Structure formats: C-alpha cells, structure tokens
C-alpha cells in the first residue's frame, strides 16, 4: 500500500489562500444586518420592528397604511420620494419610552429603498 501524498508548504499556502478568498467573496452575500439603520442602541428595537414589518421593496401605500395603522404620525416632507414619521416605542428592556424620527426613501416606482432613523428632538424630554 502506498502512503498518501504529502502536502508541501506551497500547497498548504494555496489552500489557505483559497479559503480566505472564499470567505472574503461571501461577505457581500451576508449583508450588514448587524449594523442596522442606526448606531443609537436606544433605537435598536424600533429599527428591528421596522425592518421586520417593512422589508425593502414594500410599496409606498403599504408603508403608509402600516404606519397609520400603528398610530405613528406622518410628518411633512419636501421630498416626494420620502415619508417621514414619528415612531413611538417603549423599550422592553429598559421600560423607557423612545421616539424616533424615521425617514423612509422610495425609488421612482414607489418601492421602499431604505430608511434611516434618529432620536426625535423632543424624545429626551419624555418622562
């Protein structure tokens, strides 16, 4: 019986390089969900709620109906391809209320492209 072929340092480096290249090429497919749409940890639960209920590609009418059905007041916007809304939420971990000013962006076909959220200016004054 013949022994299995030995791996040389060169072939070992090639395997490592191929594995590393494979990992790097897979990164864009995993997306950046961990980062979310805000860096503010107080808004994380609002971000998760919106991400689950309003996936990218949702129609503008569906987005407006959902926001209205939740009692979130729409705000005036100068951009016809944007919807601005105040989202009120009680953080289930801290039991403190937080309000986010959310701007949802739509493409020319009125499909949701993206959104961003920041803490609403008067949110810090809430009890």
Q: What is the pLDDT of residues 30-87, one digit of tens each?
A: 333 444 788 889 999 999 999 999 999 999 999 999 999 999 999 999 999 999 999 9
Strands of the sheet with 74-75, listed across from one edge = 74-75, 82-90, 97-106, 112-119
A 10 A CB-CB count for 127 gives 4
Q: 97: which strand partners?
A: 90
The pLDDT assigned to 12 comes to 58
Q: What is the pLDDT of residue 32?
A: 39
pLDDT given for residue 121 in this prediction: 81
Do 114 and 55 contact (CB within 8 A), yes or no? Answer: no
């Amino acid at each position: 019986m013949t022994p299995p072929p030995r791996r040389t340092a060169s072939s070992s480096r090639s395997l490592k390089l191929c594995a590393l290249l494979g990992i790097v090429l897979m990164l864009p497919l995993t997306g950046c969900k961990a980062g979310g749409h805000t860096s503010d940890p107080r808004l994380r639960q609002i971000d998760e709620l919106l991400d689950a209920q309003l996936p990218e590609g949702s129609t503008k009418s569906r987005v407006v109906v959902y926001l209205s059905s939740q009692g979130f007041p729409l705000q005036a916007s100068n951009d016809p391809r944007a919807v601005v809304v105040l989202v009120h939420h009680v953080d289930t971990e801290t039991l403190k209320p937080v309000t986010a000013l959310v701007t949802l962006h739509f493409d020319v076909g009125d499909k949701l492209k993206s959104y961003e959220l920041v803490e609403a200016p008067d949110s810090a004054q809430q009890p």
